[in-house]
Amino acid sequence: MTSGSSPRRTAARQAALARAVEDGLLGARSPLVGLLDVDGVLAAVEALNEAFEGPATVHHTFAAKACGLVPVLRLLADAGMGCEVASPGELEQALAAGFTYDRLVFDSPAKTVEELESALVHGIAINLDNFQELARVDRLLAGREPSGPIGLRVNPQVGSGAIDAMSTATATSKFGVALRDPGAVDAVVAAFAQRPWLNRLHAHVGSQGCPLPLIAQGVRAAYELAERINAELGHARITGIDIGGGLPVNFDDEDDRPTFADYVAELRSTTPGLFDGRYTLVTEFGRSLLAKSGTIATVVEYTKSAGGRRIAVTHAGAQVATRTVFMPDAWPLRVGVFDATGRPKQGPSEVVDIAGPCCFAGDLTATGRELPAVEPGDVVALYDTGAYYFSSHFSYNSLPRPAVYGYRTTSDGQVRFALVREAQSVRGVVEESGLSQANALVALRSGGPVGRPKPGRKP
């Protein structure tokens, strides 16, 4: 299905690439940059809200892991989203972006006592992962009422999608209470019966590679369990169901598919009672809100041949496209070639590998692609990289993090940029690698005075 936003997105991206070269944001001195289409992000948020319109109250949260950049999070907060966080760092990023505590959902399979206590005090919605964590919250509450909703994550064990690592509802998944294990359902029912403050269920089947029927099957399992618990307790103990996120993204072409509307139609078909207004619904979409709006652009430094294969060496590799490099079949990216002025390249094509700068042979973002002839100074664009690729940097070879810019385009093709994150300097890389402690190990070896170790992370 062709999305009405696809032609606009393509035109806006081309205009932004040309303007980035013209303005010097991309070139010999800045050979790698991330570009985010702001209008595309806002259109995705609008499509999400429209898809879930109906009697049920729905709280949409953005999964911060997909792009933990404060300006991006603030844009989403301004658009009315909440934020799902899974670590102290993501929590602080969300707060810095302007999300209030009541718009946050805290998920993590390894929450510390301090993190739980902070969430309980501030009224952050929490999804507990297991019975040990449930007992820990019992001790922390010590009879007092929590300030926010508390849910229990369950694993419906409905199986795996095409990418095992992205499938969180397998028989042996590390997440949640495994419902098909012997005695698990009865234990969950008992947990709710014993705790008046436990009022949500959470289920997340997976993301990329998971088909809609599989995701809907997992949501249905959570809904049916909520219905059973409420029936057995004789009242609406469970008032909310967190259905997670996980809408897969089409990386094959420009179209948006499946859409949020497709997903909701699947849910309405399999679990119509989910939307009748008895439950508050919570979503945690990430990749599907940003991926299509992002582009990583890099200058081609060299071209060469090896074994009859053309190779274009660029500055975008495993440090920004980690999943694509290490799992190319699961995470393929579309590639565009532009000339040195940032205009789409025309002419005869050639079969080429697109290589990155990392010092290992597998650092390839595309292999055997038929593309317009690539020359040094050209620009290679990696499409659909708005989620994870900008913020989940892999520090191999101590390569610095690239700058990221948001952009908007007018109807006549004019482009405006806003800096999202400055490019990391080489000096910054050195400082981050322990420069201030440069003499610590030498002093330890010689028996001289060493600095006192500092404690680890704090919530």
CA dihedral of residues 6, 11, 15, 16 (deg, nearest 10): 0
In which residue ranges of the chain is pLDDT below 50? 1-2, 459
CB-side neighbour CA atoms (13 Å) of 278:
12
The CA distance from 241 to 282, in Å, is 6
Give, to the nearest 10 degrees, the angle between helix 131-141 and helix 184-194.
10
pLDDT at 296: 98
Give the angle 439-444-450 at the CA atoms, nearest 5°: 70
Structural tokens at position 455: 């404690």
CA distances to 41, 48, 82, 335, 411 from 385, in Å: 12, 19, 22, 11, 24
Q: Which residue has the tokens 């109906």?
A: 54
pLDDT tens for each residue of 177-224: 999 999 999 999 999 999 999 999 999 998 888 999 999 999 999 999
The CA distance from 220 to 55, in Å, is 18
Q: What's CA 136's distance to the chain center, in Å?
A: 29
Structural tokens at position 273: 């009672």
Q: Is residue 359 annotated as a catalytic residue, yes or no?
A: yes
Element (H, E) at 383: strand 379-383
CB-side neighbour CA atoms (13 Å) of 338:
27
Task: Tell me the domains of the chain and their CATH numbers.
Answer: 100-285 (3.20.20.10), 292-432 (2.40.37.10)
The CA distance from 394 to 241, in Å, is 35
Contacts of 235 (CB under 8 A, 6+ apart): none
Cα dihedral sign, 329-333-337-341: negative
pLDDT at 457: 60
Question: 3-state SS of 236-271?
Answer: CCCCEEECCCCCCCCCCCCCCCCCHHHHHHHHHHHC
**What radius of gyration do the chain's Cα atoms show?**
24
User: How many Cβ atoms from other residues are within 10 Å of residue 130's Cβ?
Assistant: 16
User: Using the 8-state DSSP alphabet, how is residue 344 labeled?
Assistant: B
The active-site residue out of 67, 83, 358, 359 is: 359
Residue 131 phi/psi, 5-degree rounding, is -70, -30
Q: Residue 381's closest CA among 2, 15, 3, 6?
A: 15
Q: Are strands 32-37 and 294-306 parallel, antiparallel or unpaired?
A: antiparallel
pLDDT at 456: 66
* Local structure of 235: helix, strand or coil: coil
Task: Please give the full DSSP string across 155-189, using - where no structure is assigned.
Answer: E------S-GGGB--STT-SSSEETTSTTHHHHHH
pLDDT tens for each residue of 259-315: 999 999 999 999 999 999 999 999 999 999 999 999 999 999 999 999 999 999 999
User: How many Cβ atoms from other residues are within 10 Å of residue 433's Cβ?
Assistant: 11
